[in-house]
């Protein structure tokens, strides 16, 4: 049986968003922008191969943890390394379109057909794991309805989908793409803050 603290740490990893050290500040409240339905927003293309490093902080009800993150994606394959959760140790999540496997620092492994099912099986939480690979790049999930609040440069300030609210700030240009530097995902007692230190696009 996975202990309660480790369950929260596993949620952090399989959320994939996500970052011991300093606290991560939430994004500033965005100024009023134009509200656009997801179906009507022209979303810029994005590379299928990318890496990011940074830090994340997760709060579920009155529990909170933080860790460093290295996340790499190539097409539909991904690997996420989380270090420093609960002050020590590491977790690794690898997966593709057909399976997801979580490995702890002690060598324990947990496998499911996808990351969302893995979260549900190991923690009991229902979380938007499959949406995060879109949201972390500043884009809504294309198959879901919702709306986007955009700034003057047509970058997402807020995305609302599936009852979740994603707030962005601190974009930076890399290789012609506007990449988020800080974002927050929240709904009903769950909040994940992500501060991205580096992006690497392509191979």
What are 139-148's contacts with CB under 8 Å, separation 24+?
139/43, 139/44, 139/46, 140/38, 140/41, 140/43, 142/38, 142/43, 144/38, 145/37, 145/38, 145/39, 146/37, 146/38, 147/35, 147/36, 147/37, 147/38, 148/35, 148/36, 148/37, 148/38, 148/41
pLDDT tens over the chain, length 203 residues: 444 445 655 665 555 433 323 344 455 545 557 899 999 988 878 888 999 999 988 888 877 778 889 999 988 889 988 887 544 578 888 988 889 998 888 888 989 998 888 877 877 776 777 788 899 999 999 899 999 999 988 899 999 999 999 999 889 998 889 999 999 999 988 888 899 999 999 86
Query: Which pTM value belongs to this model?
Result: 0.81
- Quick one: pLDDT at residue 27? 56
Q: List the chain domain ranges.
A: 4-198
- Quick one: pLDDT at residue 17? 36
- Quick one: pLDDT at residue 83? 85
- What class has domain 4-198? mainly beta
- Quick one: pLDDT at residue 128? 75
- Quick one: pLDDT at residue 21? 32
């Amino acid at each position: 049986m996975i202990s309660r603290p480790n369950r929260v740490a596993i949620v952090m990893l399989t959320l994939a968003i996500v970052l011991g050290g300093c606290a991560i500040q939430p994004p500033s409240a965005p100024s009023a922008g134009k509200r656009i339905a997801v179906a009507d927003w022209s979303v810029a293309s994005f590379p299928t191969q990318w890496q990011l490093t940074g830090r994340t902080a997760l709060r579920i009800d009155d529990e909170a943890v933080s860790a460093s993150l290295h996340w790499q994606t190539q097409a539909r394959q991904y690997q996420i390394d989380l270090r420093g959760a609960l002050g020590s140790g590491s977790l690794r999540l690898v997966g593709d379109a057909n399976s997801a496997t979580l490995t702890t620092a002690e060598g324990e492994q947990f496998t499911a057909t996808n990351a969302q099912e893995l979260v549900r099986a190991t923690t009991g939480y229902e979380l938007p794991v499959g949406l995060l690979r879109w949201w972390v790049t500043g884009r809504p999930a294309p198959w879901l309805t919702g709306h986007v609040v955009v700034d003057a440069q047509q970058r997402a300030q807020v995305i609302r989908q599936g009852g979740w609210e994603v707030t962005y700030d601190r974009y930076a240009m890399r290789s012609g793409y506007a990449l988020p530097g800080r974002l927050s995902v929240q709904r009903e007692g769950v909040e994940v803050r992500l501060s991205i230190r580096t992006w690497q696009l392509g191979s």
